[in-house]
Amino acid sequence: MFKRVVDITRFHKNSMEKVNDTILIETPVDIIVNGEPLVNIVCLAKDLKYLGIGFLYSIGIINSFTDIEDLSVDEIDNKIYIQLKKNIEVDLDLLQNNPVSRVIDTSCGISSPWRAIIKKSLDNQNLRYQKNENLNVNAEIISKAVLEMQKSTPLFKETGGCHGAAIFKQTGNLIAVLEDIGRHNAIDKIIGYALSKNIDMSHIFLTTTGRLTGDSVLKAIRANIPILASLSAAIESGVRLAFGYGLTLIGFVRGKKMNIYTHSHRVHV
């Protein structure tokens, strides 16, 4: 269960009335890899399969969906069980030697030690300046894509309490959109979806409703996505990482306006 109806008192036009309102439920979900607990993520208990795939990919445990031997979700106990193929080595020393919190909440995204783990996986991939330079998207397509994402987030419309993340083809055709209470979880889910469908993420662009923080940008870089656009603002850590790794970062996509913070050559009019 990821939402419920509550009785509230609503003030509107100088009057009070009793009404029903739908609210979202935060749920702590355990990701268990090869029988060992890895992390507890506070999230929206929906599309958990994709969350598990996307999170393991973001931190560098897997490099493709084919690295997973088996995946199951226990919706009663809120656990994601992932068994990796025997040839996949999990760098547990990297996790154990970093003072990482094993709980990731919905408020601020991943902590600095988790960011360090993701950045190490980026260095192992040699992704710096390796983004697709041939992807070129019309600014109007990006504006319409962000609007399409907003229209395709039913839980946000119903509750106003979650973030959305979506992936689009270069032509602006929507591939998929997923939602979560945490902006970072929504991005992990959509990346997990793309991996499970064997989508080449170097030829698509990603949109989100959340702020463009360092953690969100790192996830897009890790997925080799060339363009990340948001309804919201960019943060200095996100801009710095996007510049260094060759990602086109776009914020405040509203109507016919947008701020292109880095690598604007991928956007044309």
Over residues 6-39, the pLDDT tens digits come to 999 999 999 999 999 999 999 999 999 999 999 9
pLDDT at residue number 182: 95
- Is 43 part of the annotated catalytic residue set? no
Q: Which domains are seen in the chain, by residue range?
A: 27-125 (3.10.20.10), 137-268 (3.40.140.10)
E strand residue ranges, 44-135: 68-74, 79-84, 103-104
CA atoms within 13 A of residue 236's CA, in its CB half-sphere: 0
Is the model's pLDDT at 110 over the cut of 70?
no
Instruction: Give the per-residue pLDDT at 103.
Output: 65
Predicted confidence (pLDDT) at residue 91 exceeds the cutoff of 80:
no
Percent of the chain with pLDDT over 90: 80
pTM exceeds 0.85: yes
Angle at 40 between CA 176 and CA 82, to 5 degrees: 65
Tens-digit pLDDT profile for residues 144-168: 999 999 999 999 999 999 999 999 9
Give the whole-number percent of the chain exceeding pLDDT 70.
85
Rounded Cα–Cα distance for residues 86 and 109 (Å): 31
Active-site pick, 23, 103, 108, 116: 108
Tokens encoding 80? 């994601």
Task: Name every residue whose Cβ is closer than 8 Å to that of residue 174 and which is 6 or more positions away in sequence.
Answer: 145, 148, 149, 152, 166, 168
Angle, in degrees to the nearest 10, between helices 183-196 and 214-222: 10
Q: Answer whether residue 126 shows pLDDT above 80.
A: no
- Is residue 64 within 8 A of residue 222, CB to CB? The reply is no
What's the mean pLDDT in 56-64? Answer: 93
- Which tokens sit at 115? 């960011």
Residue 134 confidence (pLDDT) above 60: yes
Between CA 261 and CA 230 the distance in angstroms is 11
Q: For residue 253, which amino acid is it?
A: V
Read off the pLDDT of each residue in 59-88 and give the average, rounded to a whole number. Answer: 96
Q: What is the DSSP letter of 220?
A: H
Contact present, 51 and 180 (Cβ < 8 Å): yes
Is residue 251 helix, strand or coil? strand
Q: 54 φ, ψ to 5°?
A: -65, -40
pLDDT of residue 181: 96
Question: Mapping DSSP to helix (H, G, I), strand (E, B) and coil, where does residue 216 land?
Answer: helix
**pLDDT, the chain, mean:** 90
Whether residue 130 is predicted with pLDDT greater than 80 in this model: the reply is no
What average pLDDT does the segment 47-64 reach?
96
